[in-house]
Chain A
């Protein structure tokens, strides 16, 4: 018997869904098995997970809220990955975005929200973009690998944030604890529930609007503009791009700048809408999650949105599992890992077809 692996001619249409769902089912099966090994009810455990993640309106909203920063950061890195520019720096760009927003909120606190919020968005995106541009310039001018430089700048970015919060921005009324004073009302992104006069939308905030806008801009830019097309062409390789006289250097600056701006935007929304002040705890690793999401979603906007939501829902659901069944927190990470591995392994079946073939009688050794 021979195992034949051959590259597929074209991506199978419905097959994609089958492979993804199969991978997901396999991962959930594995997790159920692990629950059993841990002496917990496997089916019941998964039921609690789904109940916690999708069971009620508020849990869906919780997941949606948590997906916002992941989606925006993920869109930012996906833009760079499209061009084979490996921007690992979303975390640092997120931090700088939070710093930019806080600077505007603390400096111009007296302005009305209609002016102050756009100013915060602008300064957050500008600082995020700046943080993205540093590795881009280093790469173009000095040939520095952007994977290393963008990763290292994450630590620098977080340290900048901590320096400010532990130092000059520390709230004098905070008993020395690291936090800025609470933002004035005009600097806090409002809740939809309050504005729409309904409790149903409860905690959902207007920052959510940034997601469809950014997603739309991403799709239009890549699909409908010449620059977007050139960007995709540059993704085939730097030498090809330069040979075709495409503005390679400009595009590197553009994607890193835009990517940084998107992560910065995420930092601004997270700081303003969910914390209402800057604290070091705003950094929870969304910038790294974003990279995983971008890859799982194959850099496409709708799948990014879907994956970001699912991953957020999984994290929310695992908390319910912990509470109901006292499963260790690490189980959530194991689950995440199992799903990611299964889906990535499943992608193999999208590009290759695998067949078993018995040797024909004539070929059989005599």
Chain B
């Protein structure tokens, strides 16, 4: 019995020691934290500091979709009198509603919700917090205190398609696609139109992974495309899995979201990249100046600098680079002819008549593939 109690004593001692160690550390850290002003109470009076919150669907990491948004956040946080924070890896659905609501309740003046799945939760919370301003990315709903925004990344896709179309030898280009939703379908279509502008014989084969971030699965999907003869791999997801697959087989790849060159330097031709900073800075400025309004759909393109392509890999010939950059110059000037007819669907039927430019609402609801895509939109 005595021995038992001694053992128990020893155990308790270790535990207590461990805790004490942790606690002493805490106190120091807590002192440091105390220097800064405490977080303002919920809906307290604004002291001129603007609090801006960001909700991401995937971990920020060091590349990809959420990383690109976070670069925009960092740019905003450098503006004077602006404080930013974010919550990452938020599941779309009930979880996101809670996160967004806690931001609104925590005194945030402006909340960016950066994924399509946050649309309904954003709308619900916005109704309960009319004084907070919300910006939802890639959706189609808006309200008194909600506007939505996105970028014409399809312009960048078109440019990367031109590169892929010229670089392929087998005339089969693989496209590892995320979810069959208009955003992704639009990207595939623009890419394919870019491919066929320089190489009408090439086809783009699509494989759906139904993931935004699953490195192993996305790599496997790329391998299955390489197996059927694809020699350029493009992708829509956050992970660099497809890039690695292409490099391992000695083929080429096209990245997305951010410059993916570092993951596959031998394969990487270019990437379609986001640059959110100009948009985020403009929105924060609007809110600060009181000119922000809801019920808007903001859809900026290369002319405003929010989409771009990454620097070309060394294997891309100079002549091709010039061709692509010439097209880019047109986009930058505001001349956007990506979805100008005649454009046929997979069945050869004309969907956009000759000389007609597709309207934004048709692009936002695009659920059909253009001619040259092999795959189904299911």
Q: A residues near B, CB below 8 A?
A: 22, 25-26, 29, 32-33, 35-36, 40-44, 46, 52, 58, 62, 65-66, 162, 166-167, 175-178, 270, 274-277, 279-282, 284, 316, 319-320, 322-324, 326, 328-330, 353-357
Contacts and interface: CB of A to CB of B under 8 A. Distances in A.
A284 B62 CA distance: 24
A42 B85 contact: no
A316 B29 contact: no
A355 B10 CA distance: 11
Interface in B91-107: 91-95, 97-99, 102-103, 105-106
Given A36-B22, A43-B23, A44-B30, A324 B39 contact: yes
Contact of A25 (B19, B105, B116, B210): B19
Given A36-B22, A281-B92, 14 more contacts: A22-B11, A32-B23, A36-B25, A42-B25, A43-B26, A44-B33, A58-B105, A175-B364, A177-B181, A275-B94, A275-B120, A282-B93, A320-B102, A355-B4
A357 B378 CA distance: 68
A357 B2 CA distance: 11
B179 A43 contact: no
A75 to B, nearest CB: 20
A41 B103 CA distance: 21
A65 B98 CA distance: 10
Which of B18, B29, B210, B378 has the most chain A CB within a 10 Å cutoff? Answer: B29
Nearest to B103: A323
8 contacts: A33-B25, A44-B26, A162-B210, A175-B365, A275-B94, A277-B120, A281-B91, A319-B90
How big is chain B's contact interface, by range?
35 or more
Across chains A and B, which 9 residue pairs bring their CB atoms closest together, nearest first? A43-B26, A329-B89, A41-B29, A281-B93, A281-B92, A42-B26, A176-B367, A175-B365, A32-B22
A80 B321 CA distance: 63
Nearest to A65: B94
Contacts of A282: 93
A323 B117 contact: no
B26 A32 contact: yes
B272 to A, nearest CB: 21
A22 B15 contact: yes
B22 A29 contact: yes
Interface string B55-96: 000011000000000000000000000000111111111110
Contact of B117 (A279, A355, A356): A279
Contacts of A330: 59, 89
Nearest to A353: B4
A281 B96 CA distance: 10
B360 to A, nearest CB: 11
B69 to A, nearest CB: 14
The secondary-structure label for the interface of chain A is helix
Contacts of A22: 11, 15
A131 B59 CA distance: 33
B15 A26 contact: yes
Nearest to A285: B91
Which of B33, B88, B181, B378 has the most chain A CB within a 10 Å cutoff? Answer: B33
B365 A176 contact: yes
B88 A329 contact: yes
Given A175-B182, A274-B93, A62 B116 contact: no
Interface string B19-43: 1011101110110110000010000
A329 B15 CA distance: 27
Interface string B347-376: 000000000000000001111000000000
Contacts of B26: 32, 36, 41-44, 46
A316 B93 contact: no
B295 to A, nearest CB: 17
Contact of B88 (A167, A276, A324, A328): A328
B185 interface: yes
Contact of B366 (A46, A166, A176, A284): A176
A175 B359 CA distance: 14
Contacts of B116: 177
A59 B185 CA distance: 39
B53 interface: yes
B318 interface: no
Given A36-B26, A44-B33, A329 B94 contact: no
B182 to A, nearest CB: 5
Contacts of B18: 26, 29
Contacts of B293: none
Contact of B87 (A177, A281, A322): A322
B46 interface: no
B180 interface: yes
Contacts of B93: 274-275, 279, 281-282, 284
Contacts of B4: 353, 355
B140 A175 contact: yes
Which of A52, A280, A319 has the most chain B CB within a 10 Å cutoff? Answer: A319
A237 to B, nearest CB: 34
Nearest to A59: B102
B98 A176 contact: no
A58 B42 CA distance: 13
B147 to A, nearest CB: 17
Contacts of A43: 23, 26-27, 29-30
A276 B87 CA distance: 24
Contacts of A58: 105
